[in-house]
Structure 1
Amino acid sequence: MSAADEILDIVDENDRVIGQSPRGEAYARGLRHRCVFIEARDAEGRVFVHRRTSTKLVFPSHHDMFVGGVVGAGESYDDAALREAEEELGVSGLPRPTPLFRFLYDDGAGATWWSAVYEVRCELPVDPQAEEVAWHAFLTEAELERRLAEWTWVPDGLAAHERLRDYRAME
């Protein structure tokens, strides 16, 4: 089964399931679905940053400071966060990511999804999937901030990053 054929729950503006659709169709028709964003930090507190492969369905070759992806039909946000983090980091036995908050991402041009933001400490050696990740490194906060203006970032990841920065400033 290809990524485009994966079945997703379609949700309303209140994150209630109202139907299901193949991923490719959900993207093409702008159907609201669910995604997870996991900020992974190493033992030194540096943030995992990567560039997506050129074959990704959305935002190919863009950089991201989160690992994550879509929540499958019938899957919980928490289960999707662990699955996606382990898949994209190429590890197993990762601690369960800690949920922080959710927000409704909307790019104003028809792309919208409920986004659950998590954090996890990854002290295991990473081996990202070659199909998902073209390049990766753990960056300090200062390095990440410098790269924000230099690299092309996934827009939903940037939105999650800004909300996470605000969330942490209020803690």
Structure 2
Amino acid sequence: MAAMSAEEIIDIVDERDRVVGRASRREAYARGLRHRVVFVQVRDAEGRIFVHRRTATKAIYPCLYDPFVGGVVAAGESYDDAALREAEEELGVSGLPRPRRLFTFLYADDAGASWWSAVYAVRCDLAVRPQVEEVAWYDFLPEEELEARITDREWVPDGMEAYRRVRESAG
């Protein structure tokens, strides 16, 4: 499946993550409609985390750094299927193991927008060829290096919230 366009339809959900309607992704962003997204933390065989900078053409958070791959869940798609689809698309691989779900939380930004966020982890031993439409720069970083870069780079706020929660749940 190719990356979702702004016109593709997504499920709109309530504060309990129940589907209450459908809208295009463009409309959901424009009207601040609550929807579903997936975050997938990707580690290589050495345990390093895939980190990337988003392209300037991204609808939200362009040019910011992200410690996850992921994206919007399509209408009728499960979180689990979206996590695998998004990870394979953004990494440019096929045959990735099914990501393991860690937890789900409701993210809300300062402007009042919110989305249900399912967070996953997966190990990728495949050679990655990140999607040029999504990824401007990438590397696999040791966790210590990622931690050191958090203060000197601009990061996606929802990804940083997910990352904080991953760290809290691990220790």
TM-score (norm 2): 0.97
1:81 maps to a residue whose letter is A
Q: Which residue of 2 aligns with 1:61?
A: 63
SS at match of 1:84: helix
1:115 equivalent to 2:123? Answer: no
For 1:37 and 1:2, how far apart are their aligned partners in 2? Answer: 15
Structure 1 position 3, deviation (Å): 1.7
- Compute the RMSD of aligned alpha carbons: 1.0
Q: Which residue of 2 aligns with 1:46?
A: 48
Q: Please list the CA deviations of residues 10-65 of structure 1 after superposition, one character each: whole Å capped at 9, or x if unmatched.
A: 00000000000000110010000000000000000000000000000000000000
1:36 equivalent to 2:69? Answer: no
Q: Report matched runs for 1:8-157 at 5 Å.
A: 8-157=10-159
Q: Which runs of 5+ in 1 are unaligned?
A: none
For 1:150 and 1:52, how far apart are their aligned partners in 2? Answer: 16
Question: Aligned residues, how many?
Answer: 169
Structure 1 position 2, deviation (Å): 6.8
Q: Please list the CA deviations of residues 73-103 of structure 1 after superposition, one character each: whole Å capped at 9, or x if unmatched.
A: 0000000000000000000000000000000
2:162 maps to a residue whose letter is A
Q: List structure 1 runs of 4+ shifted beyond 4 angstroms.
A: none
1:165 equivalent to 2:167? Answer: yes
For 2:130 and 2:67, how far apart are their aligned partners in 1? Answer: 14
Structure 1 position 5, deviation (Å): 0.3
Q: Which runs of 5+ in 2 are unaligned?
A: none
For 1:160 and 1:144, how far apart are their aligned partners in 2? Answer: 14
Q: Please list the CA deviations of residues 115-150 of structure 1 after superposition, one character each: whole Å capped at 9, or x if unmatched.
A: 000000000000000000000000001100011001
